[in-house]
Each structure stands twice: as C-alpha cells, then as structure tokens.
Chain A
Amino acid sequence: MGNKQTIFTPEQLDAYQDCTFFTRKEILRLFYRYRDLAPQLVPLDYTDKPAVTLPYELIAGMPELKDNPFRQRIAEVFSEDGDGNLTLDDFLDMFSVLSEMAPRDLKAYYAFKIYDFNNDDYICKSDLEKTVNKLTRNELTPEEVRLACEKVIYEADADNDGKLSLEDFQQMIIRAPDFL
C-alpha cells in the first residue's frame, strides 16, 4: 500500500475518493488509462493541477466506448465545454457514473442528459427520433421511427406538454427494473 505515488497529493486523492465511487487504487488505474491515451500530453505530476484536455477522438477510441452508439453524446455530456474534450476530472466523473456502484437515479439523470440532444432540458420529438435511430442503427423507416416516438411520448408524458421532462423520464426509469 503505502503513499509511494507522486502523481497526486494526498488531499487530491482524498477529494477524488469522496467525490467518485472509486477507491484509491481504481483512481490511479484510471489515471494510467487516461494517460495511455496520450502519453505526451498528460504529465505524470498532477499536484499542480495542470489544465490538460484530451480531444474527443482519443476518448472515442477507448475499447469501452468504441462501439457504443451514444459515445459522442456521453463525451459531450461529461465534458466541461460540451464538445467532447475531457479533462481528467471529467474522465473520472464519466467512469464513476457509468460504473456499477453508481445509484440508479444518478444514472437516470445522466441518461436523460445523454438522450437530450439539443440540451434544452427536455427530450422532445426530434431528440427521441435521433435516439431511436442510434438504438436501431438506422434500420427503421422514418415512418416507423415517427410512430415509435409518438408512442413513447404518449405513454410517458405525464404533464401533457408533448415532450419528456426529467421527472417524466425518472418516473419511467423507476418502473423499469431492467435499466442499467
């Protein structure tokens, strides 16, 4: 065990442990994964909090995200400026929420933001259509996509405003035990 690592100060590690669901070892392992994406950009010494951002293309190449149809939205939701470029903080945050230790309502909150393509805090029809297309790899005809989205809004919209708010989405998640 020991405090042999020199990447973070003990206070930084404590702060990471308190803010994510990871243990010290996992945080260090994730740091090395982050660094392996671009060893020349990421310094080995984070004690002075360098402002290093990895571009989206490197993140999207990670084996965990490479085949996920929502990888771009995931990176955009967790990045500071919304364009998919992640700092180490964002990186740790993303994996913390995606890990199995995160509670469902936290995941539901972020899932809502991922499916909200135009970032207006509502999942409207066009957001849903883009979601369905990504889920089915553009295999459905536009007519089928439209019908499916209408059904979803009809079933889940509790306040009848034609789009899903965060509360509607969370209500639906509570009733679906298979949500991961």
Chain B
Amino acid sequence: TCISHGFYAEEKLLESLASMSTSERIKAIQKMPETMKKKREIRNKVLKEITKKSRRHSNQLPCCTQCLHGTAVSFRRFGNSLSEYFHLLQLWHETLKIIGAEFGTSVLSYFIFLKWLLTFNIFSFLINFSFITIPQFVAAESNNLSFTGLELFTGAGYFQQTVLYYGFYTNATISKIKNGPSYNMQLAYIFTIGIYFVICFLILVFSIAKSFCRNFVNPQTYSGKASKLLCAWDFNIINEKAVKLKQKNLSTQIKEDLTEVNKEVLNFSIKERVVRIVIHLLSWVASLGIAVAACAGVYFLSINNLKLFVKGHKNDLESQAAMLVLPIVASLLNAFIPFFYSWLGHLEKFQTPGHLIYVTITRNIILKISVVGILCYYWLNIVATSELQCWETLVGQDIYRLVLVDFIFCLLGSFFGEFLRRIIGTTVCVRLGLPEFDIGRNALDSIYAQTLTWIGILFSPLLPGIQMISFSIVFYVKKVSLMMNCQPPRKVWRTAQMTTSFMFLLFFPSFLGVLSVFGVTVWRLKPSEECGPFRGLSSMYAAVSEWVKILENYTASKWVVWIYHNLITSELFFFILSTLVLIITYLYWQIIEGRKTITKLLHKQIVN
C-alpha cells in the first residue's frame, strides 16, 4: 500500500503539472526539493503527458493553434536568450559578489542600496537629456562668457549660460521648419520632471511594500534567539578570515545570550530611574540644541551670501571663492556633528546596543533634515522673492556647489576615516585594530546626497548626470577602501530590516520632502521674468492651465480637458481617492490581525 500510495501521489502531481502553463510548470519543477534525476524523470513524464494531450486535441483543432503553440515555444527560447544577455547589463555584478564573499551581507546591502540610488539618477538623466536638453540644443543661444577652471567648483561663470541651469532654457515653442511640428518647451519641462517624480514615487512605494511584506509582516512571536542561532550562518562568506571571525562572533553572541539568562532583570530603584531619564532628556536637549545651532549658522551664512551676491557682481576670485563657504560649512557640520552624537550616545548608558544605534541614527537624520530644510526655506522664501534677475539659476548653482562639496567630503571622509585610521590602528595604537565599515553613516550620507539631487532637478536638469558620475566614483572608492582598510563587521546587523529601513528613510523624510518643495515651487512661486522656460507666467503651473484652455477649443481633445477639470483639479476626486486608500488599509490590517489570532489558536491545538 505504501508503494501504491506513492504512485497515486505521483499521478496527481503529474496531472497538476500538466495542467499548468509552461512558465508555471518550469517554476514548479525548479522548486521541487528532489534530486536532479527525479526532477528530470518527472519533467519528461509531464512532457509526454502534454504531447499526448495535445496530439489528442490537435486532431480536432485547426492547425492555427499548432502554429500559435510553435510560436509560443520559440518566443520563450528567445526570451531565455535575451535574459542571458540582460544579465551582462547587470552593473558590477562580480564586484558585489566579491564584497559579499569577504564582508558578508550587511556590508553588501549598503553597496546594493548605492547601486539602486544610481539607477534613479541614470533614469532621470536620460529622460531629462532626451526631452529637455536636446530640444534646447536646437534653439540654443550663444554663450558669450569665458571659461576658467574655477567654474567646475563654483558652477557659476561660464556654466550660467549653458544647459546646466534652468535659466538657459527657452520658453518658446521650438520648431525647425516653419509651420512644421512644434515642441512646447514649457510643457516638456514641467511634464518630464513631473512624470519622473510620479514614477519614482511608484517605484519607492512598491519597493518598500515588497520589502516590508517579506521582512516585517510575520512578527516574531519568539524572542528570536533560537532563530538567530540556526539562521545566523551567512552562506555568502567564502573568505577564510571572515569565516573565522563570523564563528568567533557567533560564539561570543551565544555566550552573551546565555549569561543574560542567568542574570535577572535589573530592577532599578526609583531614584536610579529618574536619574536615567534626566540623562536621556539632557542628551536629547543637547543634540537638538546642536542641530538648531547648526541650522541657524547655515541660515545666517546663506543670508550673508545673498547680500554679497546682490551687492556686487564682481566676477573675481575672491567673490567666487566666497560662494564656496556655505557648502563647505554645511559639509563640515554634517561630517563632525555625528561624532559628537556617538560620543553623547556612549555617555548615556542604554540598555541594549540596539537602542544606541537607533537613537544615534535618529539624531543624525534630524540633523541632516534640518539642514536641508533650512536651506529649502532660504531658497524658496528669500531667494525666490528677492529682486534677483534669475533666482532659479542661483538656487541651481547653490545646489551644484553643495553636491560637489559633499562629494569631495565623502572622498575625504573615506581617506581619513578608513585609510588613516587603519594606519593608526596597525602602527601607532595597535589596540584599536582595523576600522569597521560604518554602514549606517554611509547610507545616511548617500540619502542626503540623493535628496539634494532630487531638489535640484527642477533648477538644474542635468544635475542627476553629475550625481551619477559622483555615485559611481564613490562606489569604487568605497569598495577599494573597504578591501584595503576594513575588517568585517563585528556586531551582527539585522540586514533585511536594515535594507527596509534605508528605503523607508529614503522615502519618508527625503522623497516626500522633495515632493513638497517641488509642489511649492511649481504652484506658489513666481518664476523670474527674464530667464527660463516659464518667464512671464504667474506660476510654473500656469503653463499647464493655459495649455488646457487652448485645448478646449479643439473637439478632438475634449477628453483631456474633461480629465483635467474633473480628476486632476477637483478636490472631490482626491477626497474619494484618499478615503478608498484608508478603507483598503484598514481592511488589510484587520485581515492581518485575524490571521494572527488563527495562528495562535492553531499553535495551541498542536501543542495540546
């Protein structure tokens, strides 16, 4: 009976496989936990079944379906060979493998995140270049300024009259031939950037949802220590030193876990608890105070900058160099205040090391967001409403300088933080040892750089191209520095949750902040009168509303006007949309809660 039972099970398996579509069947066979021999047998049997079935059917159906079937098979083979070539396009696949092999998956996650940010920039650069810059080349004005080398650092001078900045773009409708097809630069500018942001939004939301689903939805009802043991082995590591280190870490961790079991939970007396809370409060006050001081410094420096700029347009070396003071100060603050925060964190005695890491990262995020926030306030409220000729180009130049100086500081940070630290750790002060790669700090720096780039896209459409180059150079420099100077991480980072947190941080403060800046600029601010694609309009959005008014005169495009009036500009539509989203979210939440209860009940049943 055992054999016949197995045979019956196999029959059922073959039947179910035969009834699936081809790709599903292949996936199902690949996933089967059997030996290769068994899988091949099953596959051959299934194929025989299918040909038997199709032979039976082919006597009844016309030969068209056979042709279709044949074309489907050849399409699949073509798709397979295409995917092989697509694999070649994978950037840095081997480099990432090597990093994972020597340092483990947590360090690898930073580099994968950097590569993911790079694809955003490549995409933006490609569409901006094709839809905005290339038409501009057709209608370009000549550039009368001279080129000195200093422009690469300050972004001003010669670059002011190039496609790098908003001010250079024309507001005309470009057409090469008289009465030929025309290209409306205003609409192209606003739609290209708008659609790019919408696509980014969708990509971010879907990535976060996917990552969240995989890593957080099944909450750990266990304390997680058991799973730490059996799931802790990172099979990616193939370097002998790294393997030994990982084993040492695991044994230290297990020892720590065991001693925790023996230690009882320390009950602090009331006095000690109050003291601890006061210490925590004081350090938070200190860190927030430092952040506010940094913002105030940046704000006054930028106001000063503006005054200098408005007063005299001298293009000499001194005033050009003065423009670099603000970005350098901002980068210095971003580089050194985190050290103060980690020192502060070590002073307070947190109950777990995890707490320390999260608190320090939160403080760093608050610092970076406030600096970016104060700069945006300065640009949107002060520069935009000042009496400058072409304020968008000025903002674009500011952002260019910030991005460039941030890039230089990143390279310097790598040099000092890792190279010199290694030299010190191996020769002068051997107790320190090799430095570890600081994943959190590097990831936050990359998010900061990407935020600046996103803000700058509207004012300097080719900025993503510059950032693209910068990220690539940073990738290589960090990789070389990692291989030469660092040791694999000692603390066990929870990698999967870290990747989700990076994406989440990229989305929430960073991307949504950028969207609000974009919104304010497009809807509220008055574009400058004399330069740029939106000169003379009351707001950048006015270009779209005027276009819709023109479209109303054509009957062929009445549907566009209808969509515009009833969906995009109507508040009722967005209200209904938000209500629907809230209802769906609530339903999903209830489903998850219900499943949790069922799991608990079933668990009880198994135990009893």
- Collect the chain B residues with CB atoms within 8 Å of residue A180's CB: 105, 231, 233-236
- B428 CB to nearest A CB, Å: 31
B33: interface (CB < 8 Å): yes
- Collect the chain A residues with CB atoms within 8 Å of residue B496's CB: 177-178
- B66 CB to nearest A CB, Å: 20
- Collect the chain B residues with CB atoms within 8 Å of residue A68's CB: 235, 238, 243
**Which of B212-220, B308-316, B513-521 sits within the interface?**
B212-220
- Chain B, residues 200-242, CB within 8 Å of chain A (1/0): the string is 0000000000000011101111111111111111111111100
A67 to B225, CA, bound (A): 25
- Collect the chain B residues with CB atoms within 8 Å of residue A18's CB: 26, 29-30, 43
Q: Report whether A177 and B497 are in contact in the complex, using a CB–CB cutoff of 8 Å.
A: yes
- Collect the chain B residues with CB atoms within 8 Å of residue A1's CB: 81
**Which of B245-253, B267-275, B536-544 sits within the interface?**
B245-253
- Chain A, residues 92-120, CB within 8 Å of chain B (1/0): the string is 11001010000101100111000100000
Select from chain A the residue with minimum beta-carbon distance to B232. A135
Within 8 A of B (CB), among A134-180: 135-137, 139-140, 144, 147-148, 151-152, 154-156, 158-160, 169, 172-180
- Collect the chain A residues with CB atoms within 8 Å of residue B43's CB: 15, 18-19
Listed by A's residue number, 27 A-B pairs whose Cβ atoms lie within 8 Å are A1-B81, A17-B80, A18-B30, A24-B81, A67-B237, A67-B243, A68-B235, A69-B233, A92-B36, A109-B33, A131-B230, A135-B247, A135-B251, A136-B254, A139-B248, A140-B251, A148-B257, A151-B225, A155-B226, A156-B226, A156-B230, A169-B230, A175-B220, A175-B222, A177-B214, A179-B231, A180-B236
Q: Report whether B230 and A21 are in contact in the complex, using a CB–CB cutoff of 8 Å.
A: no
B244: interface (CB < 8 Å): yes
Q: Report whether A136 and B35 are in contact in the complex, using a CB–CB cutoff of 8 Å.
A: no
- Collect the chain B residues with CB atoms within 8 Å of residue A93's CB: 35-36
Contact flag A89-B35 (CB < 8 Å), given A151-B225, A155-B225: yes
- A178 CB to nearest B CB, Å: 5
Q: Report whether B229 and A64 are in contact in the complex, using a CB–CB cutoff of 8 Å.
A: no
Q: Report whether A15 and B254 are in contact in the complex, using a CB–CB cutoff of 8 Å.
A: no
- B2 CB to nearest A CB, Å: 16
- Collect the chain A residues with CB atoms within 8 Å of residue B80's CB: 17, 23-24
Within 8 A of B (CB), among A49-68: 63-68
- Collect the chain B residues with CB atoms within 8 Å of residue A72's CB: none
Q: Report whether B222 and A172 are in contact in the complex, using a CB–CB cutoff of 8 Å.
A: yes
A1 to B88, CA, bound (A): 14
- B333 CB to nearest A CB, Å: 35
- Collect the chain B residues with CB atoms within 8 Å of residue A80's CB: 35, 37
- Collect the chain A residues with CB atoms within 8 Å of residue B257's CB: 148, 151
A137 to B249, CA, bound (A): 11
Total count of chain A residues near the partner, CB < 8 A: 60
Partner of B239 from the list A67, A69, A70, A135 (CB cut-off 8 Å) is A67
Q: Report whether A135 and B250 are in contact in the complex, using a CB–CB cutoff of 8 Å.
A: yes
- B459 CB to nearest A CB, Å: 40
A105 to B33, CA, bound (A): 9
- A60 CB to nearest B CB, Å: 13
Partner of B36 from the list A19, A147, A154, A158 (CB cut-off 8 Å) is A19
A42: interface (CB < 8 Å): no
Interface size class for chain B? 35 or more
A175 to B599, CA, bound (A): 13
Q: Report whether B226 and A19 are in contact in the complex, using a CB–CB cutoff of 8 Å.
A: no
Q: Report whether A159 and B36 are in contact in the complex, using a CB–CB cutoff of 8 Å.
A: no
B305: interface (CB < 8 Å): no
B44: interface (CB < 8 Å): yes
- B488 CB to nearest A CB, Å: 13
Select from chain B the residue with minimum beta-carbon distance to A15. B40
Q: Which 7 A-B pairs have the closest CB atoms?
A: A136-B251, A177-B496, A89-B36, A176-B227, A155-B226, A177-B215, A179-B231
B84: interface (CB < 8 Å): yes
B31: interface (CB < 8 Å): yes
- Collect the chain B residues with CB atoms within 8 Å of residue A23's CB: 80, 83-84, 87
Q: Report whether A135 and B224 are in contact in the complex, using a CB–CB cutoff of 8 Å.
A: no
- Collect the chain B residues with CB atoms within 8 Å of residue A159's CB: 606-607
Q: A23-B87, A156-B222 are in contact. List 20 more A-B contacts (CB 8 A).
A: A24-B81, A68-B235, A70-B233, A89-B37, A106-B31, A109-B33, A135-B233, A136-B251, A137-B248, A148-B254, A151-B257, A152-B229, A154-B226, A155-B226, A156-B230, A172-B226, A172-B227, A173-B227, A179-B227, A179-B231
- Collect the chain A residues with CB atoms within 8 Å of residue B33's CB: 106, 109-110
A17 to B83, CA, bound (A): 13
Q: Report whether A98 and B235 are in contact in the complex, using a CB–CB cutoff of 8 Å.
A: yes
- A126 CB to nearest B CB, Å: 15
- Collect the chain B residues with CB atoms within 8 Å of residue A109's CB: 33
B431: interface (CB < 8 Å): no
Select from chain A the residue with minimum beta-carbon distance to B492. A178
